[in-house]
Amino acid sequence: MNPAKHVVVLGAAGGVGRLFIQFLGRQGHQVFGVDAAAPRSEASHHQADILAPSGDGALEHAFARADTIIVALPDCVARAALPWVAGHVRDEAVIVPTCSVQQPFFHDLASIKPGHPCLGLNPMFSPSLPAQGRVVASCLPDPESTSHWLEQSVQEAGMRVKRLSPERHDQLMSVCQTLPHAAIIAFGLALSDSGRLVDLDSVMEMAPPPMRAMLALLSRILSNPAEVYWDIQSENPHGELQRTALSDSLRQLSSMVEAKDGGAFSQELQRTADRLGMHLASGARDCQAMFSSLA
């Protein structure tokens, strides 16, 4: 267990902010939550707009004491708040962005306050899910550097830490998040247009497990704040490459169908299966378990 730290969490009313507040509080750390939204009865935090914090004595006092500032805000807001944040933290206080895309934040901080300590932490799951056993991406310019106390606290809370550079993080997230989210959102847009052909109630009466799984994924996205998914699409410098690959693949599929080239279709499926390698069998088991729950 680490000695008690003074931690400020910006975005205390959001899911990621609450996640950090809860497990750090249970571990005995002194946590000061900040959010522009008014506190709810079951969760107390200091109400302040970090983009216009002038004259907020309580906020400035918390920053003056803090060992760590967790910036659990939408990517664009986190970067907009950075000049004030960097100007009010102690030189040794670590700034911790939870951004979906890490490299731009690190770049901005290096421009504003060169050499200031920064540790990116991006949970690879929605905070509405159980955190036990799930991965939190940890970003440092030198992934081989000594473990930070906050990484240790994440592990003590039952999560797994995967260390990588901000650049590598964003490359991986373009495949792990930008690509699948783009495919799901595109499916949703196409489904909206298909209402001219059949009504959704009829679709749901007949929907086989793959359709129900896609609807579940789409509904998950639509039930969360749009800004989360907008950041993943718009902020990642590798995102356009993934969206282009997705649209090119759809055109390739259409070309094979139009040419009635079943052989090419089979070859492409086999090539994809070969690319999955050992992950094909585990993915099939995951799908079986998921489809069984949709019965």
Model confidence over 229-272: pLDDT tens digits? 999 999 999 999 999 999 999 999 999 999 999 999 999 999 99
Task: Round to whole Å and give the CA distance between 33 and 70.
Answer: 10
Q: Which of 72, 76, 78, 172 is nearest to 121 (CA)?
A: 72
Q: How confident is the model at residue 142 (pLDDT cuts 50, 70, 90)?
A: confident
Per the prediction, the chain carries an average pLDDT of: 95
Task: Round to whole Å and give the CA distance between 186 and 177.
Answer: 14
Query: Is the confidence at residue 151, as pLDDT, over 70?
Result: yes
Over residues 93-101, the mean pLDDT reads 98
**pLDDT at residue 38 in the model:** 85
**pLDDT at residue 196 in the model:** 75
**Fold adopted by 6-164:** Rossmann fold (3.40.50)
**pLDDT at residue 186 in the model:** 98
Both structure tokens of 224: 């969360």
Task: Round to whole Å and give the CA distance between 228 and 19.
Answer: 16
Model confidence over 39-58: pLDDT tens digits? 876 567 999 999 998 888 99
**pLDDT at residue 41 in the model:** 61
Task: Round to whole Å and give the CA distance between 174 and 177.
Answer: 6
**pLDDT at residue 153 in the model:** 97
Amino acid identity, position 273: A
**pLDDT at residue 199 in the model:** 87
Question: Tokens 């993943």 label which residue?
Answer: 232
**pLDDT at residue 232 in the model:** 95
Beta strands 46-47 and 6-10 are: unpaired
What is the pTM assigned to this prediction?
A: 0.91
Query: Is the confidence at residue 145, as pLDDT, over 90?
Result: no
Contact 142, 163 (CB under 8 A): no
Angle between helices 279-293 and 262-276 in degrees, nearest 10: 100
Task: Round to whole Å and give the CA distance between 200 and 192.
Answer: 9
Tell me the three state secondary structure of residue 257.
Answer: helix
Task: Round to whole Å and give the CA distance between 70 and 122.
Answer: 11
**pLDDT at residue 55 in the model:** 84
**pLDDT at residue 43 in the model:** 63
